[in-house]
A and B are shown apart, each in its own frame.
Chain A
């Protein structure tokens, strides 16, 4: 039965909470089955728990979506103590039940071991990866079964909606969002409140709100994890936004490559509709709002707002000129307010806790927290949520746990494929919208790729340009041809065919691409090139003049040799070599036949004595 008033909602919440209270501090198991953990085998662990616990178990077993610490998946937490186990396999399941759940004993081998101290840490709360974070938006994932609206209710879900609908005028909601300083988390960083305001003021009977869940940046999955793990927070944000703007129809545009997100948001919409939180006369307030899911077709550029709307309309996802703002003429030429998943998920937090509280977090120009996907050459890969203004050093070393293998940090690439690379000298840069832009990179959707000394920066630029040249929609000359030309020159440089003037050429064409392109894709496409030239010009020069790749990555510029003094003649490299380019016998230092070597690097990887040298 749909809820007809805020009181009914509160009664339901009280009922849920009382039921839970009555059960007391229940023993429970929380298993993360988010994308990262699934990749590490969480589905099998899930089956093992189900099987071991049976149907009538008194132990509450909950499967949630991403907790963020993906590096260590599959993650299992045993309640009520909050014992944190990492890398759990189906074989560990009986032991966990028997020892930890039942007897409260900790299984040492499954605990997290701090690489810095070498000590094991038994509880989730004490792990540095978590302690440094401020998980306003993302933290609830760990407590929620996303397919159960009751879980969201129990955590105070839809309270913010009630507050907005019954205690605030739309203008007050907008004022609150404006005061909070919330900026769009999709990349542009446009003040959300101002966007809402201009959409509210735009002329038109029908207005739309859209949630952009077309997260296309390689390596970025925060929107995905929010949508999978806590879809109701996004819905609640959209409901509040729609109320403020004066919209009664919304779209959730989600990549079809995110099947779980599609499924979970679908379930959430269905549940919310059943409860009367979506549909006509929501909670008796007179406010109507309905949501439609639109699945994306896979184009990177479809995440651009105007291209996304073209896609919803059934056309090729191609950006259009936006001097008439989407808030005035967007989807089907009607005023449209588009925000991304993370932005929407921030809204209930702001409404519930107040703009002043929210604005106290972060920096002058960037308020609140931001979720980043921390990947690359870093110990603790995963999703992190930190207050704006945290330095890169804290993120990389305190939360990320530093660089694996004791290697040296080289750069961090932020903002997705068209972001820039920030060097070691800027590690103390406070991360917010403006500082990143100043450094020649951008916030983007929050991707962070950490690179160590073994990363070639020219190769990195080439990698991103390869992505961008394929994902340019092909409309603007500057982007379509400019990205390709840059890629071609980078490709030549990495192959030893670089020539005098290439750097200047890249700078010129990069400038042209950035200046002349219509949408943000082209406008930022040159960032990987320009920022690597800016901070790592010497690497470019080494490639071009000395035909040398300092990081030892560009295969055509390097040779592999075996240091006879270091070689222990174990034969591992000889066996591993795919082209049989390594000769040698037992006790005789091995040699690489250069004519046969394809520079795949296998020998270097398998060598136990670090005898394979690259020059």
Chain B
């Protein structure tokens, strides 16, 4: 075996991975057939690639092979004993036999051994009909097994998370769940316990479990079952529909299993989308809200303080009349529109047309823009592009990754965190994390910088200074970029000592990080909110973009990329479809600037804005509460389109029910620029209508022209009007990416000045508070209702605080504390850790948190009109 072509890495001393990165071609013979393989491929991989079937049970393409089930044994000429094909590398000239009597006897015996204790409860097993063991038993024609043994049934029990049940009797000990936990998510919540036949999959660290369901997805039998849906169905009774997850901007591809118009299970199709077979807990378990009895299925008009169900015609005629009235009395600019970044491209495109063309207002916005705009503006300045979508695959190939902004593990960007991990341990990438709390990912980092939100520019200045001073030769390409002399001049004063002192970290750490970045051939940056959502948010990102440009992370497909992952599924598409007061579809500048959402609320409070049409947003829980309350209270007309009566719905005048993502057709654009389909998996409740129809009807009641059309037709229209989407198909057969490419011509790039500053702490508010996950509440309703029920079990908001600080204040871990900002206060569950910066607080928000919005101040970033979601002055008190 030639070492040069094989790259292997071991995890836990127990696994070996053969990386097939285009090794040399080798020739071998399998079952008399001469085949070719890449050096480094295993015999199993080579066989399967050539259509030769070898049975397996413990093998999973996403996991490192361990060869424990012994089903894939093959004979290799010259080898004494049979070898497991899944762990044995294919080698030049070997002759392999996969089908001999001896092998099949061994396989049959192994299967029969497994069957000895395996309960034959297939009729009531969730996996019945979709079970790899069943398939193998059928394939080997096993109709009886000779062993008779009785083992005490262990029944079912809660696994590491209440969302998954474990049936130990059914376990075939393939260890896929454990490997998925250790290799993909790296939580180490489960492991093998015991020896011999007593060995079982056990929970070793319940607190470490993040309910990602990775273990559930790889289980070949029914030993792990999902515990959300009460309804279960056999594969032949149900339909599988592949669609796109509606939670975060990664746009994971998911397969909904539907039975009698109910989702009974969610899985990830293999090798598809950015997720490549993984889902996070929201994606895999967060679907039951769709079937919640509180879902509103008819339009309603509020009269005398209570809702009244009305026919669609009455509701829409009423809305049309009210809009016309406002236009007549105050002009179209007295009307605003707000649309959720979890709406489809087609919906956003139609809605902005409706607002701009039918209503005639320029005031249209989305909270998706709040997340994206700081990044867009920073990038605009540094590389002259509005959005740059590197792929997560580029991230995996990176050799040095900087993670800034939110904690990818605490938020719903776990898939991105997993791709970072993939780079870390498959290719040995180095990791630099900027976050005040040393979370899971930061613990795996080479350098962890506990920065306060807003300190990133100083960090970047210090890093640039170090790079220019000590690693000049590595940055040759960057010196030709416009603005280089100015950059050099600006960073001159940010010496190692000064930077270290100002951001509060050890100088050695900065030196080390600079070294890692200088050595990197494919550096990558992964940023996410609340980065960009401090008062000087654009500067924050510009600073990092300058550093990225300097060390080559921003130069296109050869680099690791400058990634932006956000909390909403169609954050990118929403802006690219024109849900912004600043830009039209395709980032074309608007002639007249409309009002941003914050400005709309201010205008409503002063009476300048009279009507607001909200689609799927819940501003009361995502924007400064007092501002929104005041604004909403003064409106003449508040139309709300949603699935549930949200917090905001209580202030609305008209409520229009909307479709869930599983009932919708359309497209989302993910953070990589993939344009992916949502497919209708469920028939909507009777009488529920697609938004496009709703707006067309309103338009006709207003006596305006607006086409009644379908999602497919709207997408066709988008491809004609939006230059980024030219030539795309609604039903593509291969992944499709929105245009604009990923290359950054260096002559278009420019190092851009940014402010380094940050204010002093207020003595009364000694902490800097960041809110993480505030935009994750859309479309699933308010706190008063039970929604994604299973998920609620394991999603709790909490305030993370330094353990010593907590002690000084007199707080106990897992107790409660009062969190106070100059604008409001709330009581929060406390989590303490010694590895949080002492003057930082992180409020990690889960699904249902409605109280956080009152902590937000009324000030906002004048460039992006973003309220500050991080760096908020705060203090904590005992309850």
Contact = CB atoms under 8 A, between A and B. Distances in A.
Contact of B16 (A313, A315, A324, A488): A324
B109 interface: yes
B15 interface: yes
Given A475-B173, A477-B113, A518-B67, A318 B106 contact: no
A484 B197 contact: yes
A320 B82 contact: no
B152 interface: no
Contacts of B15: 320
B61 to A, nearest CB: 17
A512 B67 CA distance: 15
A135 to B, nearest CB: 35
A298 B146 CA distance: 34
Contacts of A478: 70, 106, 109-110, 113
Question: Which interface residue of A309, A313, A478, A516 has the most chain B CB atoms within 10 A?
Answer: A516
A100 B84 CA distance: 66
Contacts of B78: none
Interface in A480-524: 480-485, 488, 505, 508-509, 512, 515-518, 523
Interface string B68-102: 11110100000001111001110000000000001
A316 B191 contact: yes
Contacts, number: 146
Contact of A477 (B13, B69, B105): B69
A329 B10 contact: yes
B13 A321 contact: no
A369 B547 CA distance: 67
A474 interface: yes
Interface in B165-207: 172-173, 175, 191-192, 194-199
A299 interface: yes
A481 B16 contact: no
A512 B196 contact: no
Nearest to A312: B13
Nearest to B11: A315
B14 interface: yes
Q: Main SS of the interface on chain A?
A: helix
A460 interface: no
A471 interface: yes
A475 B12 CA distance: 14
B196 A484 contact: yes
B16 A321 contact: yes
Contacts of A474: 173, 192, 194-199
B8 A324 contact: yes
A469 interface: yes
Nearest to A299: B195
B99 to A, nearest CB: 16
A570 B855 CA distance: 95
Interface in B522-580: none
B861 interface: no
Contacts of A125: none
Interface in A356-382: none
A521 to B, nearest CB: 11
Interface string A429-473: 000000000000000000000000000000000000000111111
A203 to B, nearest CB: 6
Given A485-B113, A488-B149, A516-B70, A480 B199 contact: yes
B700 to A, nearest CB: 68
A329 B8 CA distance: 9
Contacts of A324: 1, 8, 16
Contacts of A311: 13
A45 interface: no
A89 interface: no
B163 to A, nearest CB: 26
B13 A320 contact: yes
A214 to B, nearest CB: 15
A481 B173 CA distance: 11
Nearest to A301: B195
A212 to B, nearest CB: 15
Given A321-B16, A474-B198, A518 B82 contact: no
Contacts of B195: 299-301, 470-474
A516 B73 contact: yes
Interface string B435-477: 0000000000000000000000000000000000000000000
A538 interface: no
B116 interface: yes
Interface in A284-338: 299-301, 306, 309-313, 315-316, 318, 320-321, 323-324, 328-329, 331, 333
Contact of A475 (B68, B102, B110, B114): B68
A313 B106 contact: no
Contacts of B236: none
A309 B71 CA distance: 26
Interface in B504-537: none
B197 A518 contact: no
B764 interface: no
B121 interface: no
A343 B812 CA distance: 56
B82 A516 contact: yes
A476 interface: yes
Given A485-B113, A485-B116, A515-B82, A320 B173 contact: no
B70 A517 contact: yes
B3 interface: yes
Interface in B93-146: 102, 105-106, 109-110, 113-114, 116-117, 146
Contact of B113 (A300, A481, A518): A481
B406 to A, nearest CB: 31
B9 interface: yes
A484 B113 CA distance: 10
Contacts of A320: 10, 13-16, 66
Contacts of A508: 109
A370 to B, nearest CB: 24
Given A313-B12, A318-B14, A320-B13, A477 B106 contact: no
Given A329-B10, A488-B149, A512-B106, A316 B192 contact: yes
Nearest to A473: B195
B88 A321 contact: yes
A476 B109 contact: no
A472 B9 CA distance: 26
Contact of B147 (A300, A301, A485): A485
B80 to A, nearest CB: 10
A321 B105 CA distance: 22
Nearest to B109: A512
Contacts of B12: 310, 313, 315-316
Interface string B337-363: 000000000000000000000000000
Nearest to B73: A516
Contacts of A470: 195-196, 198
A484 B172 CA distance: 15
B294 to A, nearest CB: 47
B175 to A, nearest CB: 7
B196 A483 contact: yes
A600 B419 CA distance: 64
B562 to A, nearest CB: 32
Contacts of B113: 477-478, 481-482, 485, 509
Contacts of B88: 321, 323
24 contacts: A203-B3, A310-B12, A310-B14, A312-B13, A315-B13, A320-B13, A320-B16, A320-B66, A333-B9, A469-B196, A473-B192, A474-B192, A476-B68, A477-B114, A477-B172, A478-B70, A478-B113, A481-B113, A481-B116, A481-B197, A485-B113, A485-B149, A509-B113, A516-B106
Given A316-B192, A474-B197, 4 more contacts: A323-B83, A328-B3, A476-B67, A518-B68
Interface of B: 1, 3, 8-10, 12-16, 65-71, 73, 81-84, 87-89, 102, 105-106, 109-110, 113-114, 116-117, 146-147, 149, 172-173, 175, 191-192, 194-199
In the A-B complex, the 8 residue pairs with the smallest Cβ-Cβ separation, listed nearest first, are: A474-B199, A310-B13, A481-B113, A321-B87, A315-B12, A516-B70, A512-B109, A313-B13
